[in-house]
Chain A
Amino acid sequence: MSRGKRRSFTMRIGMVLVLLLVVSAIGADFLAPYDPYKVDIGAVMLAPSAEHPFGTDYLGRDVLSRVIYGGRISLAIGVLAVLISGLIGTVIGATAGFAGGWVDEVLMRLTDIVLSFPTALLALAVMAIFENPTVGKIFIVLGLVGWANIARLVRAEVMAIKERDYITAARSVGAGPLSIVIRHVLPNTLGTLIVALTLGVAGNILTEAWLSFLGLGAQPPVPSWGAMITEGQFFLTTRPWVCAFPGLAILLTVLGFNMLGDGLRDVLDPRLKRTIQ
C-alpha cells in the first residue's frame, strides 16, 4: 500500500518537473521576460530582484530569461540524442534477439565492448576534435555513444517474447520475420524502452551540461546551462547567483526525468527491481 503510494508520488513529482520544463521550453518566447541575448551595460551583475528574479550576468543579460531558453537546448539535446540511441539500440537489440545464433553472438560482443567504454569520456574525446563544437554535434555524438544498454534491454525482451504462443501463431499463418518483429515483438518491448529512454534523457542532459561547462558544447553567447555556469564561475565569490540558477535548473530537470523514469518502471515493468542502474 505505502509502496504503491510512494511510486505514484515519485512519478507525479517527476511528471510535474518534466512538464514544467517542456512548457517553459516551448513557450520561452512568451515566458521569458527579456531577450536572452540582450546586453545591458547599465544593469551588469545585479542581484536577484523583482525586476530580474534571478539577477543579471556580467553583460547585464537577464539570468531568468537565459535559464528559460537554456531549457530548450537541454531538452532538445536530451530527447534527440536519446531518439538516436533508441533507434540504434532497438535495431541492434531486436536483430540480435530475433536472429539468434552467430548474428546474436557478434552483435552482443560489440554491445559488451561499447558497454565497457566510459561513454562520457568517449564523447569528450570526440567533441574535443571539433574546432567549433556546437549543440548540433553534441546530440549526434551523445546519440551515437549511448545505444548499448538499450540494445541489451531490447534483446532480452525480444528473446523472452519470441517464445510466446502468439508469435508462434503469427508465424504459423505465414507472417515474415520482419513483420513479426515490427508488428508483434517491438510493441511489447515498448514499456522497457520507454523507461530506458526516459532515464537516458536525464543522463544526456547531465552529460551535455558537463561538456558545455568544459567548453566542448554550446559556445557563448548561446544560453546553455553548462556554458552559463562556466561564464558565471569567474564571479562566483561575489555573484554566486549567476552560477546557482542554471545549476539548479539542471538539477531539477535531471531529477524530474529520473523520477519519471523510476516511476514508469514500476508501472510498466514491475518485474524489474526498484533501482536506477
Chain B
Amino acid sequence: MQAGGVNSDFCLLTSDFSKYMLSFIVRRFLSLIPVVWGIATIVFVLMYLVPGDPARLMAGQNASPQTIEALRAKMGLDRPVHERYVLFLASLARGDLGYSYRQRRPVSEVISERFPATLKLALASILIALLFGVSAGIIAARHHGGVLDYGVMGLSLLGISTPVFWLGLMLIVVFSVWLGWLPVGGYGESGDILHLLLPALSLSAISIGYFARITRSSFLEVMRQDYILAARARGIPESRIICRHSLRNAAIPLVTVVGTNLAGLLGGAVATETVFAWPGIGRAIYDAILVRDLPVVEGGVIFLAFVFVVSNLGIDLLYAWIDPRVRLTGYSGTGGEL
C-alpha cells in the first residue's frame, strides 16, 4: 500500500515534469512569433519609406513604361499599403525574401548559396571562443586575486572592446603580409582551415572576452559551494573536481552568454567577411550596400535576425534541459549587443 503510494507519487512527479517541459517549449515557440513579426514589420516600414520605384529598379534602365507597369502590377506595388503589408508577410512566411535588383534572382537563392560559409565561420569562431575563453576563465578563477587573474581579466576587457573588423585587418598585416603564413583573404577551394583561421580568430575576440569573464565568475561561485568542499574533504583530486563537479555547474550561465553573443557574432560577421572577402551572407550584405541593392540588404538582415532568434530558442531549450529550475519559472531569452 505504502509502496504503491510512493510509486504513484513518483509517476505524478514525472508527468508533471514533462508537462512543464512541454508547456515551456510551447511558450518559448509562441514567444518567437512577435519577435519575427516585429522585425519583419520594421523592415517593411523601412522598405515602404524608401524613395524610388522598386519596379523601375528591377526592370532595368531600358525598360519600356509598359514593362514597368506590368511589373508593378505583378509585384503588387499598385495596391494599397495594408494589402502590400499582408502580401509581404505572406511571402515572407513562404521564405520569399524579395528579388535582387542587381543579381536578378531571388534573395533567398543568394542567401542559401551564401549561408554555408557564414555558418562555418560562426561555428569556428564559437569553438575558438569557447576553447580560449573557458580555459582563460578557469585559469583566472584558479588564481583568484593573483597576477594571472589580473592578466586574464585585463585581456578579456581588451577583447570585449575590440572592433573586430580592425582586428581582422591587423591580423592580415601581421600573419599574411609580414610573416606570410596565411592567405590575405578569400575562401580557397572550399573554405579550408588556412583561409578560415584569421577570420574566425578575429571574429571570436569579443566572445573570448565575454566567455572568460562569465566562466571566471560562475566558477568562483561554484567553488564556494559546500559540495565542492565536501568533494575536497573526500580527497578527490583537484583536476577531477574541476572537470566533474565545477565545470558542469559553471556551464549553465555560459550557455546563455553563448546565445546573447550570437547577435554580436552575426553582426561582426558582416564586417569580418568584408575584410577577408569571405563569401558569406555578411559579404553579400556589404556588396549590396555598395550598389544599393536593398532587397539583399534587408533580406540578409531578416535572415540573420531569424538565425539569431531561432538559435536563442534552441539555447533556451538546452538551458532548460541542463537546469530544471528554469522550466518552472519560465526564463525568457535576452538580446545581445555588438
Q: Which residues of A contact B (CB under 8 A)?
A: 2-3, 6, 10, 109, 112-122, 124-126, 128-129, 131, 146, 148-149, 202-203, 206-207, 209-210, 213-216, 226, 229, 233, 236-237, 240, 243-244, 246-247, 250-251, 254-255, 258-259, 262, 273-277
Contact = CB atoms under 8 A, between A and B. Distances in A.
A2 to B, nearest CB: 5
B236 interface: no
Given A124-B270, A128-B297, A129-B50, A202 B264 contact: no
Contact of A122 (B39, B163, B274, B333): B39
Interface residues of B, number: 67
A131 B337 CA distance: 26
B169 A129 contact: no
Contacts of B292: 131
Contacts of B294: 128-129
Nearest to A117: B335
Nearest to B334: A115
Contacts of A207: 337-338
B170 A244 contact: yes
16 contacts: A2-B145, A112-B332, A113-B35, A116-B333, A117-B38, A119-B338, A125-B42, A125-B298, A128-B298, A148-B335, A214-B286, A216-B289, A237-B177, A247-B166, A247-B170, A251-B163
Dominant SS among interface residues on chain A: helix
Interface string B281-312: 00001100110101001100110110011001
Contact of A118 (B47, B150, B285, B308): B308
A250 B157 contact: no
Nearest to B332: A112
Nearest to B286: A214
B152 interface: no
Contact of B271 (A210, A250, A258): A210
B214 interface: yes
B213 interface: yes
B275 interface: yes
B200 interface: no
A120 B161 contact: no
B52 to A, nearest CB: 9
B163 A210 contact: yes
B166 A243 contact: yes
B263 A121 contact: yes
